[in-house]
């Protein structure tokens, strides 16, 4: 199958349908299926075989192995002639601060299609951390708390426009150590946490060491902080970090 610029997958069947001459179909990224064309065996041709291609005009082109005026097959074009219709909505997601996230939509309609993404109802523009604000796929880099919110897109063509549903982006802040406390040879480490998320405390005795060692297993937060106790040997030295295990 061919994934077209609108995000959908397109393909043909050699046989099938009421005529038995084959079909052209669409599958959205979420798996929804639509039959777009039944080959009639005459002007359309019959029994497509070669893979579809998408040309610069946005139309799909293919060939059939029989049918047509001389019965020897055809070259056919499938053009999109409708206002925009969303076949897959953007999905909500959760990401960690400083990492990246992306939203995308799949759409069906006449070309050219134009896109405008919104955050909390306000237009987004490209900058050093944002690309694709007027494309089908929006990419957000180096996430911060300011990027959290609802994202949606308006798709337009010469025949009309439509708005997507809103998708929620949740940005998780990194864990931050609080002041440690020490009793005898044990040190208690406490860090900020997000309820329901799991964290792994790690250590190394030398910052130049290539790897970190897990201190026990992951811990799951039930509140806004998590704590762990490390029983140190006398005159020992350790450096600590916390890794968010479940973003």
- pLDDT surpassing 70 at residue 247: no
Are 94 and 56 members of one domain? no
- Final residue of a structural domain among 172, 191, 214: 172
The DSSP-derived string for the chain is: -EE-TTS-EEEEESS-SSSSS-EEEEE-TT--EEEEEE--SSSS-EEE-SPPEE-TTS-EEEEEEEBSTTSB--EEEE---SS-EEEE----EEEETTS-EEEE-EEESSSSPEEEEEETTEE---BTTEE-TTSSEEEE-S--GGG-EEEEEEEEETTEEEEPPPEEEEEEPPP-B---EEETTEEEEEEE--TT-EEEEEEESSTTSS--EE-SS-EE-SSSEEEEEEEPPTT---EEEEEES--
The stretch 59-84 carries a mean pLDDT of 94
Categorize the per-residue pLDDT at 131 as very low, low, confident or very high, splitting at 50, 70 and 90: very high
Residue 71 has pLDDT above 70, yes or no: yes
Average model confidence (pLDDT) across the chain: 93
Mean pLDDT is lowest, of 2-6, 10-14, 243-247, for: 243-247
The answer to whether the predicted template modeling score (pTM) of the entire model surpasses 0.85 is no
* pLDDT at residue 235 tops 80: no
Same-domain check for residues 42 and 74: yes
**Domain end (from 78, 98, 118):** 78
Q: Write down the pLDDT at residue 172.
A: 86
pLDDT bracket for residue 69 (50, 70, 90): confident
pLDDT value at 128 more than 80 = yes
Instruction: Report pLDDT digits (tens) over 135-164.
Output: 999 999 999 989 999 999 999 999 999 999
**Number of structural domains found in the chain:** 3
pLDDT, tens digit, for every residue of 11-58? 999 998 888 999 999 999 999 999 999 999 988 899 998 999 999 999
Query: Are residue 130 and residue 162 in the same domain, yes or no?
Result: yes
Q: Are residues 71 and 91 in the same domain?
A: no
The 10s digit of each residue's pLDDT in 186-200 is 899 999 998 888 999
Domain residue limits at 237: 181-244
Condensed to tens digits (0 to 9), the pLDDT of residues 92-115 reads 999 888 889 999 999 999 999 999
Give the CATH number for residue 214: 2.60.40
Mean pLDDT of 175-179: 92
The Cα–Cα gap between 239 and 229 comes to 14
* Residue 66 in this model has a pLDDT that exceeds 90: yes
10 and 64 belong to one structural domain: yes
Confidence of residue 183 (pLDDT cuts 50, 70, 90): confident
């Amino acid at each position: 199958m061919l994934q077209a610029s609108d995000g959908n997958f397109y393909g043909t069947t050699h046989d099938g349908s009421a005529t038995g001459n084959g079909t052209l179909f669409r599958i959205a990224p979420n798996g929804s299926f639509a039959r777009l064309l039944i080959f009639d065996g005459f002007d359309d041709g019959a029994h497509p075989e070669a893979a579809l291609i998408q040309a610069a005009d946005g139309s799909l082109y293919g060939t059939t192995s029989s049918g047509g005026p001389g019965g020897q097959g055809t070259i056919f074009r499938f053009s999109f002639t409708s206002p925009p219709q969303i076949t897959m909505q953007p999905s909500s997601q959760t990401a960690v601060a400083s990492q990246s996230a992306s939203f995308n939509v799949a759409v069906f309609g006449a070309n050219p299609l134009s896109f405008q993404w919104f955050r909390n109802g306000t237009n987004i523009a490209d900058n050093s951390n944002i690309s694709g604000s007027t494309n089908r796929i929006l990419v957000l880099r180096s996430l911060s708390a300011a990027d959290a919110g609802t994202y949606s897109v308006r798709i337009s063509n010469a025949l009309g426009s439509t708005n997507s549903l809103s998708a929620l982006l949740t940005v998780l802040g990194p864990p931050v150590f609080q002041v440690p406390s020490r009793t005898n040879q044990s040190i208690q480490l406490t860090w900020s946490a997000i309820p329901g998320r799991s964290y792994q405390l790690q250590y190394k005795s030398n910052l130049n060491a290539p790897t970190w060692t897990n201190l026990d297993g992951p811990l799951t937060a039930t509140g806004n902080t998590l704590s762990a106790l490390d029983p140190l040997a006398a005159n020992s030295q350790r450096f600590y970090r916390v890794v968010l295990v479940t973003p």
